Amino acid sequence: MTEKSYREAISEALSGEMRRDPTVIIMGEDIAGGAGAPGEDDAWGGVLGVTKGLVGEFGRERVLDTPLTESAYIGAAAGAAATGLRPVAELMFVDFMGVCFDQIFNQAAKFRYMFGGKAVTPMVIRTMYGAGFRAASQHSQCLYPIFTHIPGLKVALPSSPYEAKGLLIEAIRDDDPVVFFEHKALYDQTEDVPDEAYTIPFGEANLTREGDDVTIVAFGRMVQFANQAADAVAGEGISCTVIDPRTTSPFDWETVLDCVEETGRLVVVDEASPRCGMATDVAGRVAQEAFDSLKAPIKLVTPPHTPVPFAPNLEDLYIPNPDQVADAVRAVAKV
Amino acid sequence: MTGAIQPLTMPKWGLAMTEGMVTEWLAETGETVAAGADLVEIETTKITNVYEAPFSATLRRVVARPDDVVPVGGLLAVFAEPEVSDADIDAFVDAFSEIFEAEQEAEAASEPTSVTITVAGSALRYLAIDGDPAAPPLVLIHGFGGDLMTWMFNQQPLAAGRTVIALDLPGHGGSTKSIGSGDVDTFADLIVAFLDAIAVAEADLGGHSLGGAIALRIAARYPDRVRRLILLASAGLGAEINGDFLDGLINGSRRKEMKAVLSELVADPSLITRDMIEQMMRFKRLDGVVDAMKTIAAACFDGDRQLPATRTGAGDLPHPVLAIWGDGDRILPASHLSALGATTDSHRLADTGHLPHMEKAAAVNTLIDAFLQRQ
């Protein structure tokens, strides 16, 4: 066991699965050497270097640099998956996913259903999301609620290096299309990650804190903010359970409902836009199924409903922060 | 005078322990405690353990409060005679932190670390803590689903008198996840090959649970390799075993299930820490682990029964045997002690479950040390 970054954990999941299973291939823009760019074959390894070195070990046949045409290569990945490969396609920023919605929503997500359960589509789309990178409104969105909305897709949001490796290996071995969301701000974070392969099952939430007073459900990068908030209010005598659902589809409703029944108070922290997001989804289900357990109104901590600002000071204001989470916890704990 | 001031520091229980959390002080400021008295409860990555006073003295200053996380070797409290002034104690606390930082760096360099060697084609991880080379080494074998960290409260203290070697069985810890047939004979053969590989001709063997069944089998089949035998809540002595526990340990994946399963191991379920549950879940997620567990369980047990191939009669063994069992063991009944010969040094510990070496570490260490030193 050694300390690894989120980036290394993802890279290790990819290389490990490529060694284990010859049907695993990876494809995307600039993931090998940069199409047509001079220099070493593995000089790029993706825009943030996650796939660096893989072309050297696995060759151009399994590490495919694609043209800047998401609709083409995401469609190719879906077809490859339907015909026996396990492609992992990297779609740089989730913000660009719009140009290949048909391939994802109408094709990959529907194959199993439209072909009477006879087809499987073991593809993974890896993509970066999230604000805080000074990358402006077209490179900073958290579009996982859109994919969660589509039956037939699975959606994973690893919140730490350990989670990233186990969830990605699970995604690659899964027979359904999985959209795998990597938060840009997490790539350099480190923690102990086993050297061996391991899988974290989808639809099993992780409890990163256990407490009696308030349940906090947080997604992706927000999990650590929720942990910081929980630790901050612990000194004030408020104990929190923090739930990292790990996957938004499938979703571990059982754990969320159990915890809300125990604590009677719920705060949901979501970096996605506030309308039709995971926060409203969780709040709606809890209100429907655990209303009698609630001792206080549910609080949602989300950004405002605006594009992600480019001005650094405004971007900082936009992103939910641990203080806001702690304030929400204090507010519901008082009721 | 500062010479009369004694620091109480965070103990290091096992290789992986880097810090501990104080959960409760069992003595009050101003109280004089006797050496060996329960002093403070400390939560570790495995279970919560009581730290017993290492000396007799008066508790003057509690430095680490409940819920404080303190690194190993960090200051927990200060003991001193009543006549030592508060100002002197303040000065001691300040000076301690400076010295502590320097010592920490020096200690990190001399830490014993686990080693992985290949024995008969199997990668085996073990940790050796060197002690008196004149005494036979003690080799410790953990139980089903455990690893060498199960001895975190025992290995270092017992190494005061002898070299103590703890290994991970195949399918467990840092050892290979390919386990072959997974029966007691296969494990016994492999451990004897391991002893060959590390050039140990004769050892004292200690085994917990399934590790006890393996130790018994080694003693029966390779009597010359074993000097004395220590059995802790040992399998291999009777028919019954808690099949629901085994099933839950193998097949449970959710935290709630795992917590309930692991709570069966101890008399006081509050001893099971979040970390222990998390570590078990993380271990089971590794490729090959659950398959290995299923293979071992099928080779050794059948529901609520231990298979005949798992059992070894200890009555006929020529070796001196120390057997320790928790009265409240819910995995293997303490009544299995009766399968041991009349000369066995048997101990039933009150308010103790299936992990006597963790739940009652100090008492178990004392019993083992006395047994091994007996002429």
Q: What interface predicted TM-score (ipTM) does this complex get? A: 0.89
> What is the layout of strands, in order, in the sheet containing A206-209?
A206-209, A240-244, A214-218, A266-269, A299-301
Look up residue A83 and give its two tokens: 């015909």
Q: SS3 for A284?
A: helix
Q: Which residues of B170-197 are buried (b: 16+ CB within 10 A; e: fewer)?
A: bbbbbbbbebbebbbbbbbbbbbebbee
Would the CA dihedral through B24, B152, B211, B168 be positive or negative? positive
The reported pLDDT for the residue numbered B305 is: 96
Contacts of B374 (CB under 8 A, 6+ apart): B320
Shortest distance, CA B285 to any CA of chain A (angstroms): 5
Q: What is the mean pLDDT of residues B70-96?
A: 89
Q: How confident is the model at residue B110 (pLDDT cuts 50, 70, 90)?
A: low
In this complex, which of A197, A201, A234 lies closest to B287 when CB atoms are compared? A197
Would the CA dihedral through A226, A161, A29, A66 be positive or negative? negative
Q: SS3 for A200?
A: coil
What's the pLDDT tens digit per position in B165-198? Answer: 999 999 999 999 999 999 999 999 999 999 999 9
Q: Is A201 in Cβ contact with B255 (below 8 Å)?
A: no
What's the pLDDT tens digit per position in B299-351? Answer: 999 999 999 999 987 667 889 999 999 999 999 999 999 998 888 899 999 99
Q: What is the mean pLDDT of residues B352-365?
A: 95
Q: How confident is the model at residue B48 (pLDDT cuts 50, 70, 90)?
A: confident
Residues of A in contact with B256 (CB under 8 A): 258
Q: What is the mean pLDDT of residues B66-81?
A: 90
CA angle B260, B261, B265 (to 5 degrees): 110
Those residues of chain B whose CB sits closer than 8 Å to some CB in chain A are 67, 177, 253-256, 274, 282, 285-287
Q: Could you confirm whether domain B2-110 is CATH 2.40.50.100?
A: yes
Distance CA(B100)–CA(B220), nearest Å, equals: 49
Contacts of B236 (CB under 8 A, 6+ apart): B184, B210, B212, B213, B214, B216, B217, B306, B310, B311, B312
Distance CA(B69)–CA(A113), nearest Å, equals: 52
Shortest distance, CA A201 to any CA of chain B (angstroms): 9
The reported pLDDT for the residue numbered B274 is: 87
Relative orientation angle of helices A6-20 and A161-173, to the nearest 10 degrees: 30
Q: How confident is the model at residue B2 (pLDDT cuts 50, 70, 90)?
A: very low
Q: How confident is the model at residue B19 (pLDDT cuts 50, 70, 90)?
A: confident
Q: What is the dihedral of CA A309, A311, A312, A317, to 10 degrees?
A: -50
A positions 208-267 inside 8 Å of B (CB): 210, 234, 258
Distance CA(B10)–CA(A14), nearest Å, equals: 41
Residues of B in contact with A206 (CB under 8 A): 255
- In order, the DSSP letters of B60-106 are EEE-SPTT-EEETT-EEEEE--TTS-HHHHHHHHHHHHHHHHHHHHH
Classified by CATH at the fold level, domain B115-373 comes out as: Rossmann fold (3.40.50)
Distance CA(B279)–CA(B285), nearest Å, equals: 10
Relative orientation angle of helices B243-251 and B289-300, to the nearest 10 degrees: 160
Q: Is A196 in Cβ contact with B287 (below 8 Å)?
A: yes
Distance set, CA B276 to CA A269, B23, B254, B265 (Å)? 28, 16, 14, 12
Distance set, CA A114 to CA A73, A121, A298, B216 (Å)? 22, 12, 39, 60
Q: Is A166 in Cβ contact with B274 (below 8 Å)?
A: no
From A263, A335, A267, A334, select the one nearest A302 (Cα to Cα): A267
- The amino acid that residue B280 corresponds to is M
Q: What is the mean pLDDT of residues B244-270?
A: 94
How far, rounded to the nearest angstrom, does the alpha carbon of residue A259 sit from its chain's CA centroid?
A: 22
- Active-site residue, A305 included: no
A261 — phi, psi (to 5°)?
Answer: -65, -35
Relative orientation angle of helices A322-334 and A222-234, to the nearest 10 degrees: 50
The reported pLDDT for the residue numbered B253 is: 84
Q: Which residue is listed with tokens 């063991």?
A: B329
Q: Do the bridges between strand B164-167 and strand B138-141 make them parallel or antiparallel, or are there none, so unpaired?
A: parallel
Contacts of A116 (CB under 8 A, 6+ apart): none
How far, rounded to the nearest angstrom, does the alpha carbon of residue B351 sit from its chain's CA centroid?
A: 17
Q: Is A201 in Cβ contact with B287 (below 8 Å)?
A: no
Tell whether A194 lies on the interface with B, counting CB pairs under 8 A.
yes
| Spatial contact of A168 and A174, defined as CB atoms under 8 Å apart | no
From B370, B93, B349, select the one nearest B230 (Cα to Cα): B370
| Domains present along chain A, CATH in parentheses | 2-193 (3.40.50.970), 206-334 (3.40.50.920)
Distance CA(A135)–CA(A307), nearest Å, equals: 12
DSSP state of B286: B
Look up residue A299 and give its two tokens: 């609080």
Residues of B in contact with A166 (CB under 8 A): 285
- The amino acid that residue B20 corresponds to is G
Residue-averaged pLDDT of chain B:
91
Would you tell me how many other CB atoms lie within 10 Å of the CB of residue A32?
A: 29
Q: Is A200 in Cβ contact with B286 (below 8 Å)?
A: no
Tell whether A192 lies on the interface with B, counting CB pairs under 8 A.
no
Q: What is the mean pLDDT of residues B88-94?
A: 89
- Closest Cα in chain A to B290: A198
| Spatial contact of A125 and A177, defined as CB atoms under 8 Å apart | yes
Domain with CATH 3.40.50.1820 in chain B: 115-373
- The amino acid that residue A141 corresponds to is Q
Shortest distance, CA A197 to any CA of chain B (angstroms): 6
Domain with CATH 2.40.50.100 in chain B: 2-110
| Spatial contact of A150 and A102, defined as CB atoms under 8 Å apart | no
Sort A252 into a burial class: Cβ within 10 Å, 0-12 / 13-18 / 19+. Answer: buried
**B354 φψ region: left (φ > 0), alpha (ψ -120 to 50), beta (else):** alpha
Sort B88 into a burial class: Cβ within 10 Å, 0-12 / 13-18 / 19+. Answer: middle
What's the pLDDT tens digit per position in B126-162? Answer: 999 999 999 999 999 999 999 999 999 999 999 999 9
Contacts of B162 (CB under 8 A, 6+ apart): B131, B132, B135, B136, B137, B138, B204, B372
- Beta carbon pairs, A and B, within 8 Å: 24
* pLDDT by residue, tens only, chain A of 335 residues: 789 999 999 999 999 999 999 999 999 998 887 655 555 666 677 878 899 889 889 998 999 989 889 999 999 999 999 999 999 999 999 999 999 999 999 999 999 999 999 999 999 999 999 999 899 999 999 999 999 999 999 999 999 999 999 999 999 999 999 999 999 999 999 999 999 999 999 999 999 999 999 999 999 999 999 999 999 999 999 999 999 999 999 999 999 999 999 999 999 999 999 999 999 999 999 999 999 999 999 999 999 999 999 999 999 999 999 999 999 999 999 98
